[in-house]
Structure 1
Amino acid sequence: MTAAAPDAPTNGLSGLHFLLALAVVAVWGTNFVVIHVGLEHLPPLMFAALRFILATLPWIFILKRPPAPWRDLASYGVLVGFGQFGLMYVAMRSDISPGLASLVIQTQVFLTVGLAAVLAREKVRGFQFAALAFALAGLVLIAMFGGQSATPKGLVLVLLAALSWAASNIVVKRAGQVNMLAYVVWGSLFSAPPLIACSFALEGWPAIAAGFRDADLVTWLAVIWQAVGNTLFGYAAWGWLLGRYPAASVTPMALLVPVFGMGSSALLLGEPLQSWKLIAAALVVAGLAINMLWPLWTARRARARLA
């Protein structure tokens, strides 16, 4: 959903709704710390599988299946489940820090633009090339100075996760205006099976059994938070806001996700914020800001000229 309802307000978010949007991006940003906590005991692929099992059950018996083809729901489930989160969890196990993962995964914005240009022949505009240049400069800094904070393997895996997220965006776009929460729940039905199969094949039963045995209350709370807090609350609240307000009033809030991600990782996990990391973050966020805010600025100027 990208358009406001007919009776939706056309101004900025109200105070309470601004706090709701802030809560969503805070949950999405700090979730990288929660992922880190869960990975202390559970193997990455099984951890991701548990997340999507809880995102499916019992909600699939409550929410009506959205009017989308089964192939699209299956594609979405595999791309988001195995492609996005499976690969990202594997990377975060030991190859990239939570703060940098929250930053690099945002390259999905530019990858979505690229895929739309190739698959849907959407035109890439000049400001989007400029935005991409900023983001690429930030990624180069991470590759040069990442060290153990972001190994080449970790960077590649998170970029592949971002590509999977971008591909899932293209799939969702075909659905048009649907109940996004229902779409996520029904799509998640196809996420767990490949994750479980790959977990048994690549991680092995001994590692899975050890993870279950060593998991404590905090670990299981992390699993529950992945499904209920990050997935169900996040998508439901975000979709509700997009249904009530113009997208231009809501989507810029997403710029705060890597801010919360890096900030919470530094505060709660002691992840150092070296100067190169701050510069890389500034470059990537600047690219995101240009890509997201430039069309809003030009549209406002056009309205001002017509007034």
Structure 2
Amino acid sequence: MNPRSAFQNRAAVLVTAVFCCLLWGSAYPAIKIGYGWLEMAADDTASQMLFAGIRFFGSGVILLTLAAILGKPLWHFSARQWGQLALLGLLQTTLQYVFFYIGLAHTTGVKAAIMVSTGTFFSVLLSHFIYRNDKLSTGRSLGCLIGFTGVVLINLGERALDLDFTLLGEGFITIAALVLAVALIYGKRLSQTVDPMVMTAQQLTMGGLVLILIGVGGQGAVTGVTVASGALLLYLMMLSAAAFALWSFLLKHNPVGQVVPFQFLIPIFGAGLSALFLGETILEWKNLAALVLVCGGIWLVTRPATRF
């Protein structure tokens, strides 16, 4: 590859990775706005689950359609693989977003965007105990320490040693991040035998369907549907489908070390867009400091290993 082509490839990776992170970051204010437009109270859990289920089921259908157009096998799996896909859907979509959607209803978009990034650090810590060739290095350990310091900082109250932390808010966001870390490790193993795009599409569809059933079973309802709220829901479906598809394409055609470090942009976009569209505070010193610490920690744990 000549220098010009190499530059163009790196530029394409940069633009695509940043775009994916922008899409994922935009979900925080979009969901909060959706709660308001669809007239969902913070304690209306059943309606929140129905809202989430419709979104992810729709995202899964979009991805399945795209995979079919690309000629990927959609249904030819063994009984064992179908069971694995169902388990992944229950973990990565159903269980994770039960905690995430409830948590987001009880905290700000800025805090949620920063705290959900703990999933990266949980993944690093879990991988240390699961994979022999993925042990904690000094840099990764330092990154986890710095990142969790940022999470503690953003939850400090106005007085020293006070914590601005609730189980239903920040607690559920943290649990969602932990569930995601477990699901990603499980999904990594499953992707060795199932196409990543098809795997993502199937787990989104199945996990979203379970969320719909939970919402309907709890007598949840999506009311106040207008052209604006309908367009917002469609946007949420599209952003998940597009971001997952593009990210899978990047990981397939580029070294992981060139792609994953861009994840530090997700809390930046999430916090920044929440401040912009929801009028939340990001310029407070502890929010800015926490954002810098978490992003720095993500960069440290995801950067390629270097030898001295």
Same fold (TM > 0.5) = yes
Match of 2:198 among 171, 178, 182: 182
- Pick aligned residue for 2:16 from 4, 20, 25: 20
TM-score with structure 1 setting the length: 0.82
Letter in 2 for 1:104: M
Deviations 1:249-284 (A, max 9, x none): 222222111111111111121111211111111111
Q: Distance in 2 between matches of 1:117 and 1:157?
A: 24
For residues 44-87 of structure 1, the C-alpha deviation after alignment (integer angstroms, 9 at most, x for no partner) is 11111101221233654635238681222112111122222221
Answer yes or no: is 1:169 the counterpart of 2:184: yes
Normalized against structure 2, the TM-score is what?
A: 0.82
Cα distance, 1:270–1:150 mapped onto 2, change above 3 Å: farther
Letter in 1 for 2:245: A
Task: Give the structure 2 partner of residue 242 of structure 1.
Answer: 251
Provide the C-alpha distance between the structure 2 equivalents of 1:190 and 1:251, rounded to a whole number of angstroms: 26
Aligned equivalent of 1:100, options 107, 111, 132: 111
Kept in 1, the 8 Å contact 2:90–2:206? The answer is yes
Cross-structure match for 1:196: 212
Instruction: Deviation per CA, 1:77-136: give whole Å up to 9, x if none.
Output: 11122222221111111x211122111111111111222233445532232221111112
* Matched residue SS, 1:213: coil
Q: CA deviation at 1:137?
A: 1.1
Match of 2:121 in 1: 110
- Residue 17 of structure 1 deviates from its aligned partner by 4.1
1:157 aligns with 172
Rounded to whole Å, the distance in 2 between the matches of 1:238 and 1:54 is 18
Contact 2:102/2:168 (<8 A) preserved: no
Structure 1 equivalent of residue 29 of structure 2:
33
CA distance in 2, matches of 1:13, 1:149: 44
Corresponding position: 1:268 with 2:277? yes
CA contact (8 A) 2:96 2:176 kept: yes
- 1:47 partnered with 2:51: yes
Distance in 2, matches of 1:219 and 1:148, equals: 35
Q: Secondary structure of the residue that 1:123 maps to in structure 2?
A: coil
Spell out the pairing of 1:66-85 with structure 2 (5 A cutoff).
69-85=81-97
Residues 13 and 249 in structure 1, CA contact (< 8 A), matched pair in contact too:
no
Aligned partners of 2:103 and 2:168 also within 8 Å: yes
Q: 1:44 to 1:254 in 2, by over 3 A?
A: same
Shift of 1:288: 0.8
Give 3-state SS (helix, strand or coil) of 1:272's partner.
Answer: coil
Contact 2:22 2:266 in 1 (8 A): yes
- Distance of 1:271 and 1:148 partners within structure 2: 19
Return 57-66 or 107-116, whichever deviates more. Answer: 57-66
2:233 matches 1:223? yes
* Alignment size in residue pairs: 282
Name the CA distance, whole Å, in 1 between partners of 2:292 and 2:21: 18
Structure 1: segments with no counterpart, 5+ residues: 1-8, 302-307
Paired residue secondary structure (1:161): helix
Q: Is 275-284 or 60-69 further displaced after alignment? A: 60-69
Give 5+ residue unaligned stretches, structure 2.
41-46
Inter-partner Cα distance in structure 2 for 1:194 and 1:265: 28
Q: Tell me which moved more, 25-34 or 243-252.
A: 243-252
Displacement of 1:12 in angstroms is: 7.9
Change (3 A) 1:31 1:59: closer
Do the aligned partners of 1:10 and 1:246 also contact (CA within 8 Å) in 2?
Answer: no
Q: Per the alignment, do residues 149 and 198 of structure 1 end up closer, same or farther by CA in structure 2, a change over 3 Å counting? A: farther
